[in-house]
Amino acid sequence: MRAMKDGRPASGQMFSVATSGGGSRAALAAAAAILIMLAALPAFAARNLIQDLIFLFYMLALAQCWNLLAGFSGLISVGQQAFVGLGGYMLFALTLFAGLDPLLAIPLAGVVCATFALPTALIVFRLRGAYFAIGTWVVAEVYRLVFAQFKGLGGGTGTSLAPSVTSTVFGIEWVKALFDVRTPAARDIISYWGALVLMAGTLVFVYAVLRSRRGLALGAIRDQEAAAAGLGVDIYRTKRAVYVAAAAMTGMIGALIYLQKARISPDAAFSVLDWTAYVIFIVVIGGIGTMEGPVIGAIIFYLLQRYLADFGAWYLILLGTLAIAVMLFAPRGLWGFVAERFRVTLFPTRRRLVIGADEVKGG
């Protein structure tokens, strides 16, 4: 168990602040093993499993980003589709006009999104709480309407990635030779690895932020803004940093999504349903404000999507009802329920006060 700080209060009893909990070491080892297995999966898995997993990974990555905003920082955004769409369009612009390799365009799309997020934050941060939510939605609509005006990118009807772009992705010849597959399957495998890297990267990033001093500041802001300010937390800068970082990650995920889809249009790329409503559903069902929650939520969402999406409107009515029921009866989501019952945590981000020296050593 890692002790963050030791001290000796007046009573003479040892105390320390600890973050690790039961099972977290084992979870780390398991996560590494799972990651290696997932990376090697294209050697055995069928192509549609690979495609399904790409979807699962990018939805999970989006959910972690939204959870960082809403669950850990109190920034409830209904406008993250702005950065999914912007990232997607940047991928198209950078590959079609600048001739960049798509794998290089993905991080650049993240940089562009961060650059756009700064002035956006300047305006939407003037709105608080629930009004911030709708304000971010308006901004996403502005992005959608503006991209519908760019005739070079297909205007309102959208455009496709030229096959010459998608079939010459960096490393595709190597993948074709290694797995003995044709170009479309090799493209999927590269997207799959990209999605895996982004998903794992978001997990590590969010985890690192929450374990840092800034993570502590975020929790303080979310729980009691005035008190956090009183303790010397620079609220505005902290929130802005999180908003910009989430935008950059969301933008990279968006770029990857549209590399995989190879076709973009303003209505799809800036869809509030696809990139925000589903993501909120994942986080709420799984457990908002925990890192484990979105993982569980994403798996449940993937299964529902796979088996029930054909029911169309009824499927969406079911999702809406489930989200409302969870919010009313189990506001901490499925993981919150499990964690409370069995006192486990896989991503230890909460700080606990441990009293007594033996306990500190015993973890």
Partner 1 sequence: MTGALDAVIQGVLLGGLYALFAAGLSLIFGVMRLVNLAHGDLIVLAAFVILVVAEKLGLDPFAAVLVAAPILFAIGFVLQHVLLNRTLGRDLLPPLLVTFGLSIIIQNGLLQLFSADSERLRSGAIETASIALGGGIAIGVVPLLTLLSAVAVIVILNLIFYRTPLGRAFRATSDDPEVAQLMGIDHNRIFATAMGLAFVVIAIAALYLGLRANFDPTIGPARLLYAFEAVIIGGLGSFWGTLAGGIVLGLAQTIGARIDPEWQILSGHLAFLAVLAIRPRGLFPRALD
Residue ranges binding partner 1 (CB under 8 A): 70, 74, 76, 78, 122-123, 126-131, 133-135, 137-139, 141-142, 145-146, 148-149, 272-273, 277, 280, 284, 288, 312-314, 316-317, 319-321, 323-324, 327-328, 331
Instruction: Name which of 31 and 277 has its Cβ closer to partner 1.
Output: 277
> CB 320 → partner 1: shortest distance, Å?
4
Instruction: Name which of 125 and 205 has its Cβ closer to partner 1.
Output: 125
Number of H-type helices and E-type strands within the chain = 18, 5
Q: Where on the phi/psi map is residue 344: left (φ > 0), alpha (ψ -120 to 50), or beta?
A: beta
> CB 74 → partner 1: shortest distance, Å?
8
Q: How far apart are CA 122 and CA 359, in angstroms?
A: 47
Task: Give Cα 60 distance to the centre of its chain.
Answer: 6
Instruction: Name which of 27 and 298 has its Cβ closer to partner 1.
Output: 298
Q: How far apart are CA 105 and CA 266, in angstroms?
A: 19
Exposed, middle or buried by CB within 10 Å (0-12, 13-18, 19+), for 261? middle
Instruction: Name which of 128 and 343 has its Cβ closer to partner 1.
Output: 128
> CB 107 → partner 1: shortest distance, Å?
29
> CB 344 → partner 1: shortest distance, Å?
24
Do 243 and 76 meet the contact criterion of CB atoms below 8 Å apart? no
Q: What would the DSSP string read from start to end of 145-197? A: HHHTT-GGGTTTT-EE--HHHHTT-TTHHHHHHHHT--HHHHHHHHHHHHHHH
Structure tokens at 259: 């590399």
> CB 355 → partner 1: shortest distance, Å?
30
Structure tokens at 66: 């939204």
> CB 131 → partner 1: shortest distance, Å?
7
Instruction: Name which of 155 and 171 has its Cβ closer to partner 1.
Output: 155
Instruction: Name which of 128 and 263 has its Cβ closer to partner 1.
Output: 128
> CB 226 → partner 1: shortest distance, Å?
13
Instruction: Name which of 91 and 283 has its Cβ closer to partner 1.
Output: 283
Instruction: Name which of 267 and 340 has its Cβ closer to partner 1.
Output: 267
* Rg of the chain in Å (alpha carbons): 22
Q: How far apart are CA 306 and CA 34, in angstroms?
A: 22
> CB 256 → partner 1: shortest distance, Å?
26
Residues 38-55: b if buried by 16+ CB within 10 A, e if exposed: beebbeebeeeebbebbb
